[in-house]
Structures are given as C-alpha cells and as structure tokens.
C-alpha cells in the first residue's frame, strides 16, 4: 500500500470514528455529547468505586428501608446517570404516553404542560418543582404558564446543569434551582402557590415525609400534582415474574421500594390533603409510554459500543460502561413492567391543601 492510500484510509477511519461517536452518539436534544460523559460531581477516578458502592445498598435492603442514607444513595445514582440520561434521552427525565404523529419531544412537553394546567396557576405565581432533575419540565412549564418555578434536587451536578440550560433557554429569570433534600426543604411554611413532582417522589423512603413537606410549604387553597411510580392492581405479590420485574426496576432506578397504587391517596389524605383527582395516565386510550424505550434498543447497542470505545480510549471515566450496562438492563425491566401492565410511572394524583 503506498503512503497516499495509507493516509486516505487512516483519514477515512478517523472520520468514521468521529461521525460514529460525536454525530451518531449525540443527544436527542443537543446539550450532551458522548465525549463529555462524566460521573457528575464524582471525580473520574472514583466513578467505578461509586458504582460498586451503589450496588452494595441492595445487598443490605433493610438498611435502605429505614435509612436516612437514601438521599445520599440517590445522589450517587444521579452523579452516575445524569450525563447518560441527557445524552440518550434529553433534558426531561421521565416518561410520557406516546402520541401518534408527534415526536417524543412534543409528547414529553404535552405531558409536562398538563401538570401545570391542572394547578390553575397565574403568570407570576411561585410554584415548586419537587425533584427537578436538570430542569426539562421546569423550562417547559415556566414557558407555558409564565409562573416562577423553583426547583429542588438533591444532586449538585444537576443544579449546575439545570442553571446552565435555564440561562441558555433565556428562562433564568423565571426558573430558580436549589440543591437540597425534599424531605427537609429550605422553604418557609405557606410560601408556594402550587407544586408538582414528576417521577421523583418514588425516591423517598417514606412518601409521607415528602408529602408532608410539600403540604407545609404550600399556601392554603393551592394545588399539588404528582406523577407517581407505582405497581398497579395487576401486580401479584407472589408471582415470581412480577417480583423479578419490580426488583429489576428498583435496582436500576435507585428506588428504596416501589409503592402500590392504592397507597398514594392514603398518604396524601394522611398528611392533610384533599384528593381532587387520581388517574393512571398510562391506561388506554393512552398509547404505551414504554414504546420509546423499546424502539430505542438499536440505539442502545450503538451507545454501548460508543461508551466502550470511549472508556477504552480513556475519554469516558472507568465504570461508565458498567453504568450504561445497568441502564440497558433496566430499560428491559421497565418495558416488561409496561407490557405486563403491573407497573406505571404516571399514576397522577391532584391534591389541594384545604383553606383552613
Ligand atoms: C424517573 C426515573 C428515570 C426514568 C427515565 C428517564 C430513565 C429510566 C431508564 C433510563 C434509560 C435506560 C436505557 C438507557 C440506554 C441504555 C442509553 O444508551 C441511553 C439512555 C437510556 C435510554 C436511559 C435514559 C433515561 C431512562 C429512560 C427514575 C430514575 C425514577
Ligand atoms: C427521575 S428524576 C426526575 C427529574 C424531573 N422531575 C424530570 O422529570 O426531569 C428524579 C429527581 O428527583 C430528585 N430527588 C430524588 N430524591 C431527592 C431528595 N431526597 N431530595 C431532592 N431531590 C431528590 C433527583 O435528584 C432527580 O432530580
């Protein structure tokens, strides 16, 4: 082979690799590229250890149930997964029913806007986003309602990402992000005109603790809506396949234990809320929320290859392949949860804090 052929072949290979990693492997919503994958606030040499530490929680399940350690364990999880979520899913870390003829991005936004529409808020009102992630829902909701949204997340890295996205979207005057624990929120009593949580309170070891905090910070008469992760009435506690699926979902999503659908309104009433409405938004005529997960399978194989190459080249931190692998397996459990109908990530509950 002469040197020109060698040069051209090397150029083609390098170009192909760049296209595969940087173009094909880029996020749905631009913002995170494969080459930028990190361990969040964890230093790159500690990612592998932290991943092992994450798994050690599941070897001591009793400790999780009782633990004040849960917020720290959830924080570790989001350090490990936030970049991969943003890269492979976008800035909204939740599911939504598929809508024929609409893109995932539009279906996601519609699901988010529905939450704030239920709250009856006016422009200028102050509303709380409980477990805000990197702020995808917050930005859609602020833009749609012109309300001021305050988001709280346990994860410092997400705060930085959310603030950066808010600024970039020109929504930083409407959106504020705070790092804190939603089980002990740094807000005065009766200080919000509304609140919502999207697929976040499932991380609370006791739902009562987070619901009573939300109740405390809401003004009397105002509304709270939540999209909850729960097992449905189709879940049979002694069916081994059902147990396997639910445990798979818990392990891959940092959940201290999934609740049953009928526990949600019980807890809401117990802390003082009036339950205005309750509905599983996944039920027909809604189209399957897990369709997007299932359709993405080929992309996940490609992503796996991209992450493996980047790890091998020393660009992605050691341990990233393991985290990606864990999510890959989790996607399958979530799909099975949806297909069997034993699990829903969108059990909606709308509550009001009474006037007196
Ligand atoms: C509400 C929560 C998170 C819900 C979802 C946003 C995420 C649950 C599973 C995640 C993913 C699974 C497979 C990944 C894939 C292997 C990778 O290549 C690209 C990212 C995934 C698609 C990733 C994206 C986010 C999820 C769908 C929980 C934590 C309470
Ligand atoms: C699956 S993400 C959903 C994020 C956002 N609602 C969305 O839909 O994009 C769950 C969020 O809950 C937050 N969270 C979990 N436990 C928390 C806690 N104890 N205090 C504050 N935030 C918490 C996580 O940090 C994360 O931001």
d(CA 308, CA 314): 10
- Residue 216 included in any domain: yes
CA-closest candidate to residue 97, choices 270, 228, 256, 285: 285
Q: Once rounded to an integer, what is the mean pLDDT over residues 235-244?
A: 98
DSSP H helices, the chain, are 3-18, 47-56, 61-66, 70-88, 104-118, 136-145, 156-168, 207-217, 240-252, 261-270, 291-295, 297-312, 320-340
- For a pLDDT cut of 90, what percent of the chain falls above it? 86
How many domains, the chain? Answer: 1
Q: What is the mean pLDDT of the chain?
A: 93
Structural domain for 336, as ranges: 31-355
Per residue in 96-139, pLDDT (tens digit) is 999 999 999 999 999 999 999 999 999 999 999 999 999 999 99
Residue 27 has pLDDT above 50, yes or no: no
- Residue 13 included in any domain: no
- Residue 309 included in any domain: yes
123 Cβ contact partners less than 8 Å away, ≥ 6 residues apart: 145, 146, 147
**What is the pTM assigned to this prediction?**
0.93
315: preceding bond cis by omega (within 30 degrees): no
What atom in ligand 2 is closest to the CA of residue 183?
19
- Residue 22: left (phi > 0), alpha (psi -120 to 50), or beta? alpha
CATH number at residue 168: 3.40.50.150
- Residue 207 included in any domain: yes
CA of 348 to the centre of ligand 2 (A): 17
Which residue's CA lies nearest to atom 15 of ligand 2? 203
- Which residue has 């509303």 as its token pair? 127
What is the pLDDT at residue 334? 98
Indicate whether residue 94 lines ligand 1 (CB < 6 A): yes
Token digits of residue 314: 């020393």
Phi, psi dihedral angles at 38 (to 5 degrees): -135, 180
- Residue 45 included in any domain: yes
What atom in ligand 1 is closest to the CA of residue 92?
6
- Residue 26 included in any domain: no
Residue 272 has pLDDT above 80, yes or no: yes
d(CA 71, CA 15): 43
Which residue's CA lies nearest to atom 25 of ligand 1? 85
Confidence class of residue 69 from pLDDT cuts 50, 70 and 90?
confident
- Residue 20 included in any domain: no
- For a pLDDT cut of 70, what percent of the chain falls above it? 90
Residues with CB under 6 A from ligand 2: 71, 74, 78, 92-94, 131-133, 136-137, 152-155, 158, 181-183, 198-200, 203
- Which residue has 């808010």 as its token pair? 166
Ligand nearest to the CA of 28: 1
- Which residue has 């808020």 as its token pair? 121
What atom in ligand 1 is closest to the CA of residue 84?
20
d(CA 250, CA 256): 7
Residue 26 has pLDDT above 50, yes or no: no
Q: Which of 54, 203, 327, when mutated, tests ligand 1's pocket best, judged by the most ligand atoms within 8 Å of its CB?
A: 327
Q: Which of 113, 131, 177, when mutated, tests ligand 2's pocket best, judged by the most ligand atoms within 8 Å of its CB?
A: 131
Q: What is the DSSP letter of 63?
A: H
- Residue 52 included in any domain: yes
């Amino acid at each position: 082979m002469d040197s020109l052929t060698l040069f051209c072949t090397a150029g083609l290979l390098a170009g192909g690799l760049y296209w595969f990693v940087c173009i094909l492997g880029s996020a749905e919503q631009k913002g995170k590229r494969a080459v930028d994958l990190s361990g969040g606030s964890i230093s790159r040499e500690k990612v592998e250890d932290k991943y092992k530490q994450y798994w050690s929680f599941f070897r001591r399940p009793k400790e999780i149930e009782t633990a004040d350690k849960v917020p720290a364990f959830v924080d570790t999880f989001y350090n490990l997964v936030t970049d991969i979520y943003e890269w492979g899913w976008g800035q909204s870390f939740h599911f939504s029913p598929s809508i024929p003829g609409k893109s995932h991005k539009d279906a996601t936004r519609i699901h988010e806007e529905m939450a704030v529409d239920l709250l009856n808020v006016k422009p200028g009102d102050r509303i709380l986003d409980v477990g805000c992630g990197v702020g995808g829902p917050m930005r859609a909701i602020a833009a749609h309602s012109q309300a001021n949204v305050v988001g709280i997340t346990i994860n410092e890295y997400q705060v930085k990402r959310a603030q950066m996205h808010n600024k970039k979207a020109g929504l930083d005057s409407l959106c504020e992000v705070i790092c804190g624990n939603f089980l002990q929120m740094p807000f005065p009593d009766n200080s919000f005109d509304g609140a919502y949580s999207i697929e976040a309170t499932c991380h609370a070891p006791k739902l009562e603790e987070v619901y009573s905090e939300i109740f405390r910070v809401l003004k009397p008469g105002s509304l709270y809506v939540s999209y909850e992760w729960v097992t449905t009435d189709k879940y049979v506690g002694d069916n081994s396949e059902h147990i396997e699926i639910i445990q798979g979902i818990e392990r891959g999503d940092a959940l201290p234990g999934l609740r049953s659908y009928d526990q949600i309104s019980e807890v809401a009433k117990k802390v003082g809320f009036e339950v205005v409405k309750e509905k599983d938004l996944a039920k027909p005529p809604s189209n399957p929320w897990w369709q997007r997960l299932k359709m993405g399978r080929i992309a996940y194989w490609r992503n796996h290859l991209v992450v493996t190459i980047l790890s091998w080249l020393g660009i992605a931190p050691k341990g990233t392949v393991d985290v990606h692998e864990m999510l890959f397996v989790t996607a399958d459990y979530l799909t099975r949860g949806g297909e069997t109908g034993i699990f829903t990530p969108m059990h909606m509950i709308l509550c009001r804090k009474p006037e007196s």
